[in-house]
Structure 1
Amino acid sequence: WFAAVLFTAMSVWAMWMVLLVLLMGSGHIAENVRLLRDSSSGALLIVNADRMLAGLKLLIGPSSLGLVLPSLVAGLVAVLRADGKRRFGLQALLVFQVLWFAWFVFASIAWPRYAFPALALNMVFAGWLILSAFRSLPDILVRLRVTSPHVVRFVQVSTVALVTLAIVGSAVVQLRPITQNRNHDARQFAASLERIVPPGAVVDGWEPEIGFLSNVAIQYPPLGSLDTAVRARWLGTAAMEDLRVEPKGEFLMVGPFGRWVGIYDQEIASGAYERVEQVGAYELWEHTGK
């Protein structure tokens, strides 16, 4: 069944790549492949000392409860103890995690979402580690000459409570910004777009959430621009002149991401646009014809 799972996974990946090449742009397939190769090579291989430290901090710091590295060691122990097909399956999980974490720390921009696939699988070994430690508590207490069943029971219950508290506390920290976020600026701005922008007009911008929330035609920067923007603003290894795009729509939209990148700063400073709407961090500018 391992071969069937591998074949299915590779087939899904192959179909995704075919659809990506066919649908990612309006050019020919060869041009789309070139754009995909150029943007991917820049985003996937980034060697930067600061980003390495950020990646290590995520994996060994409080964000991961300090369980990633111990879980990898536990995974190695589990592989050595297993045999047959079980060993092959655990070995595949371990190798995938090690390679992914190595890329994440040493050769990526180390944004937390990039570590998700390996972190998700790491929970398998983390669960096994916690369960094994819990089962070993009585033996450890015996070696420490703690024989009272009440004390053993108390230590076991306390351990479960601490682990549960750590997991729940981490979940609360991660989910609190989502559950307590009362900012509806994006939705309100999308409604303003549909009210102000006439049918058939095009809005230039780089705020994907607005494209999702509204039915207005939005023209985004060319494919491959994200890699240049990241290198210019995040790593300082590219010039914003390489990213400058001349808007062609009747309106210009500037939100948090577009403002951070600064891709439309020169157009706004030129006086060719007049601001007609603002909702929080989102601004809508109309071309004045100058």
Structure 2
Amino acid sequence: MDGQLATNQVNPLSVLARSGERVAALVLIGTIVLLAFVNLPYAPRTWFDEGSHLHVPETLIRYGVYADISSEGFRYFGPTIGVGPTVMIPIALVFRLVGIDLLAARLVIVVYLLVALWIFYRLAHRLHGKSLALLTVLLLIASRTRGFEGMIEYGRQVLGEVPGLAWLGVGLLAYTSAVLHPDHRRRNALLAGIGFGLALITKNQFALIVAPSLLLLAFLDWRFFRVGDWWLRLAPPVIASSMFAGWLLIMLAFLGPADFSANLAKTRQSAGGAIFVFDIDASTRAIRYLVQVYGGLLMPALLYSLWRCRQRNARAFAELVPTLLAVLWLSWYLVSLGWPRYAFPAVALGAPAVARMIGDLLNWLWNRRQPLFATAIGMYLILIIGFSLSLTAQVVFHPDDSAQRMAVFLNQHVPTTAIIETWEPELAIFTDHNYHYVPTELLDGAVRHAWLGGPPVIYDGLANRPPYVLTGAFSTYTGIYNNEHLQRDYIPLYSAGPYTLWQRRVP
């Protein structure tokens, strides 16, 4: 009887631990909501990439054409290729319901952000348990470094990274379910393929890593792990690749007035040479970014995860799936142009591995009665998370409305029929003016010039004597307009933050 009573007794430490997890989860949810929604239209300030993406749903609503637009007409490449319909169509639908507005578009991406965080919580929970799943989400929202944005910042802008991660997480969750639960393998393999396929359509750069990774996973399972079957090995890569190829064929065959071969050539030109660069300076900058992420813990955590996955069992193979994707992604990142945004999906994929390494290290130290070292590790973790969140908070709680102020001036003082020469496409979301943008095919060369010190791009948008020129952060960064000619032929009318509106001098 006494034994039965002892068995039925509730362990107060277990109750305390569960209560602590619930409190931590509530605090984490509150933090996410706060960082996701506060000052959403103004922080971060809208910019070139977001503006160019917004052109597509805006053009679709205004003209019924899936394209970018400039004063000379529709442009069928650039933003229509880089980010897919899984982003553009929902934003267009919201525009149809509430009107064309930056806040409405960003709310769509915030929904993707919340879904991505939930999916990655589910994935980490399945692989490592509830506590480490909460730590994974905390690391994700604390993925900002001193010079570069993280999950929260990307999830507040109309970019493809966070929506792509959400769909990629769906694929990973279904894939690991297929590995760990053979009874539902066929269904989960199909879902994994669809999730991965939607990720590739959402952000076409994902195709460089996801499709080869799925084939490599199939080979590793066939030759080493032997925990799956041919349905699991082949269905996800075949379905994902077919979906991506189908969307690409639709784009090339039906968008634009040219034939298929001409469209293919324009697509390759607009994609540019940022994918494989093999530049020492770019690789050095890439390494400098990676050693900052998660306080330098990302690379050791991925290596530790690979070491853990040496066992021939289903759980090791399931853990290998996101780890292998992250490792291959970072390998490509080191030979690319080296933009931190290229590495961000790998940073997110590595968060569960970082959480697992920290959890195992703390347990190992406590079991060996090393509380001082365990406390030091805990304090270091608190420090790097707190520092990253403070950087994000500086962005979120310091709104910048300079784009909106410039738009107000344009609406009040510039006729909508006048051509405005610019390379700041974000202003089109606020006004109906007739903008002429720098040709899309010059983007890669201009960025290479600014980022790697390559040869300058030859473009004289002022030769056509536009009545107005609008300069801003991106045109200044790329140096696309000749400043001497601008100062000689134009006078500044109004400035707001990085933006300056110039009017042509009267002869």
TM-score between both structures, scaled by the size of structure 1: 0.81
Query: Is the CA contact (8 Å cut-off) linking 2:421 and 2:461 kept in structure 1?
Result: no
Displacement of 1:201: 2.4
Query: Is the CA contact (8 Å cut-off) linking 1:252 and 1:285 kept in structure 2?
Result: yes
Q: Which residue of 2 aligns with 1:149?
A: none
Cα distance in 1, alignment partners of residues 257 and 475 from structure 2: 23
**Mean CA deviation greater in 226-235 or 38-47:** 38-47
Aligned length: 274
- 1:204 to 2:421 alignment: yes
Structure 1, residues 146-198: CA drift from partner, whole Å, max 9, x if none? 6xxxxx5x76566444423331222213x144035354322211111111221
Query: Is the CA contact (8 Å cut-off) linking 1:35 and 1:223 kept in structure 2?
Result: no
Cα distance in 2, alignment partners of residues 286 and 178 from structure 1: 32
Displacement of 1:74: 1.8
Displacement of 1:247: 6.3
Query: Is the CA contact (8 Å cut-off) linking 2:407 and 2:431 kept in structure 1?
Result: yes
Q: Which residue of 1 aligns with 2:432?
A: 215
- 1:8 to 2:238 alignment: no
- 1:263 to 2:480 alignment: yes
What is the SS of the residue equivalent to 1:268? Answer: helix
1:250/1:108 CA distance change after superposition, 3 Å = same
**Mean CA deviation greater in 229-238 or 126-135:** 229-238
Displacement of 1:45: 1.5
> What RMSD, in angstroms, separates the aligned Cα atoms of the two structures?
2.9
- Which amino acid letter does the alignment assign opposite residue 411 of structure 2? E
Displacement of 1:127: 0.8
Displacement of 1:19: 6.8
**Mean CA deviation greater in 164-173 or 123-132:** 164-173
Cα distance in 2, alignment partners of residues 25 and 283 from structure 1: 33
Sequence identity (%): 24
Task: Give the gaps of 5 or more residues in structure 1.
Answer: 147-151
Displacement of 1:51: 1.5
Query: Is the CA contact (8 Å cut-off) linking 1:275 and 1:285 kept in structure 2?
Result: yes
Displacement of 1:20: 5.7
1:196/1:22 CA distance change after superposition, 3 Å = farther
Query: Is the CA contact (8 Å cut-off) linking 1:72 and 1:125 kept in structure 2?
Result: yes
Q: Which residue of 2 aligns with 1:48?
A: 279
Task: Give the gaps of 5 or more residues in structure 2.
Answer: 1-173, 176-188, 202-243
**Greater RCO between the two (CA within 8 Å, min separation 6)?**
2
1:195/1:96 CA distance change after superposition, 3 Å = same
**Mean CA deviation greater in 244-253 or 128-137:** 244-253
Displacement of 1:287: 3.5
**Mean CA deviation greater in 221-230 or 36-45:** 36-45
Cα distance in 2, alignment partners of residues 17 and 104 from structure 1: 23
Query: Is the CA contact (8 Å cut-off) linking 1:251 and 1:286 kept in structure 2?
Result: yes
Q: Which residue of 2 aligns with 1:104?
A: 333
Cα distance in 1, alignment partners of residues 433 and 260 from structure 2: 28
Residue in structure 2 matching 1:39, options 251, 267, 270: 270
**Mean CA deviation greater in 43-52 or 2-11:** 2-11
What is the SS of the residue equivalent to 1:204? Answer: strand
Residue in structure 2 matching 1:70, options 300, 314, 322: 300
